[in-house]
Amino acid sequence: MFKALVIEKDAAGYRAGIQQVDDSALPPGDVTVRVEYSTINYKDGLAITGKAPVVRSFPLHAGIDFAGTVETSDDPRYKAGDRVVLNGFGVGESHSGGLAQKARVKADWLVPLPEGLTTRQAMAIGTAGYTAMLCVMALERHGIVPGAGDILVTGANGGVGSVAIALLSGLGHRVIASTGRPEEADYLKSLGAADIIHRDELSSPGKPMGKERWIGVVDSVGSHTLANACAGTRYGGAVTACGLAQGLDFPASVAPFILRGITLYGIDSVMAKLSVRMPAWERLARDLDLTKLDAVTRQITLADALQAGPDILAGKVRGRLVVDVNA
């Protein structure tokens, strides 16, 4: 038996709760992992609250991320005692996930925990931080180097935004942080933000093209914010889109793409291949200042995760939440 945050949907309605479940409840998979830590992402908030149809199989153990130790493996790539991390692949959506003391998954979905990171630190990074790294790597592939111009980070107080600021500033970029919580300016500057702008500058309908302000963007918000970020991007710049906190729509003009030659990169963290995941995690272990990571991380229990779900949707969570599933 083990504890899990279980999502159920039946005649009684949609609900989430902590339950003791039997090992027989684990789904098929090559590798069984004794989970040590998980985390709460925006998608987990949607799953826990049922605010969007994230969960597609019931009952299901929530949690799109986990890090822990291999208990048993039918795949030669992993053996008992190996430390591993998982992000995405439908885990916590259609396949039981990491807000539980045990998980069973396909070996192809796992990444060996990089040397230099603990399982707790891996979940302080989580999908949010891993996605931020994918955005940074996309900007680098575009040819954006430190000193080329400012980088805008939207949703700056969230998980993606906080880690993106720490990564970009650590690599030598000058970062502009967009937030709806200006009282958090000192926090964002401690992560490395050089300037703070209010999200209201970007979140309402804007002009097709605006003043050229930044050479690159990490956007986790979408909708008008993403459209205005594109409108303010300098000639030849790049925008990475990885979230939809404001909305799925993209009310933009083609003008900045045609007249300024900017590029919009879609960032997928869910189904990315191992050849993409491993370099991203290796870069995180090497390039992320772990003291800054500690500063943006708060640890909670599995039971606390039930309230953390609605809190993250309401924008009440700053930085990263690590869930000790054994507490």
Tell me: the pLDDT tens digits for 117-168?
999 999 999 999 999 999 999 999 999 999 999 999 999 998 899 999 999 9
Tell me: the pLDDT tens digits for 2-61?
999 999 999 999 999 999 999 999 999 999 999 999 999 999 999 999 999 999 999 999
Mean pLDDT across the chain: 96
Question: Minimal CA–CA distance to 280: which of 150, 117, 158?
Answer: 117
For residue 19, the number of C-alpha atoms closer than 13 Å in the C-beta half-sphere is: 15
| Percent of the residues in the chain that have a pLDDT greater than 70, as a whole number | 100
Which residue type, as a one-letter code, is found at position 238? A
What DSSP letter does each residue of 216-272 carry, written as one string?
Answer: EEEESSBHHHHHHHHHTEEEEEEEEE---SSBS-----SHHHHHS--EEEE---SS-
- Residue with structure tokens 């999502």? 7
Peptide bond into 28 cis (omega under 30): no
- Residue with structure tokens 């003009």? 253
Give the other-Cβ count within 10 Å of 287's Cβ: 14
Residue pair 71/101 in contact by the 8 Å Cβ criterion: no
Q: How many residues does the chain have?
A: 327
Q: Domains, the chain, ranges and CATH?
A: 2-113+296-324 (3.90.180.10), 127-266 (3.40.50.720)
Q: What separation, in Å, do the N-terminal and C-terminal C-alpha atoms of the chain show?
A: 15
β-pairing, 2-10 vs 13-21, is antiparallel
Tell me: the pLDDT tens digits for 261-278?
999 999 999 999 999 999
For residue 54, the number of C-alpha atoms closer than 13 Å in the C-beta half-sphere is: 28
Give the other-Cβ count within 10 Å of 160's Cβ: 33
**Would the pLDDT of 229 be above 90?**
yes
How far out from the chain centre does Cα 250 lie?
20
Helix (H) or strand (E) holding 176: strand 175-179
Q: What is the pLDDT of residue 318?
A: 84
How far out from the chain centre does Cα 182 lie?
22
What's phi and psi for 154, nearest 5 deg? -90, 165
Beta-bridge partners for 238: 216, 263
Mean pLDDT of 93-100: 97
